């Protein structure tokens, strides 16, 4: 993938952790469009990572 990727962790409330994989369409422009490529959740008491 040519777009720059990063992740954001949200809702670390003790029962679940949600992470977003964010991308931009180009690195050459400061105003590049940004979007969420995937969202993941890990929940207390439930093994594994789920894609949501």
For every one of its 52 residues, what pLDDT tens digit does the chain have, with 9 covering 90 and above? Answer: 445 666 667 766 778 888 888 888 888 888 888 888 899 999 999 999 999 9
What does the alpha-carbon distance between residue 51 and residue 40 come to, in Å, rounded to a whole number?
Answer: 4
Nearest to 38 by CA among 24, 50, 21: 21
Query: What is the pLDDT at residue 47?
Result: 96
Query: What is the pLDDT at residue 30?
Result: 85
Bridge partners of residue 17, in order along the sequence = 42
Query: What is the pLDDT at residue 32?
Result: 87
Q: Is the pTM of this model over 0.85?
A: no
Residue 6 DSSP label: E
């Amino acid at each position: 993938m040519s777009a720059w990727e990063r992740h954001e962790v949200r809702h670390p409330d003790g029962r679940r952790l949600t992470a977003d994989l964010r991308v931009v369409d180009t690195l050459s422009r400061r105003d590049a469009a940004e979007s969420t490529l995937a969202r993941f959740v890990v929940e207390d008491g439930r093994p594994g990572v789920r894609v949501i």
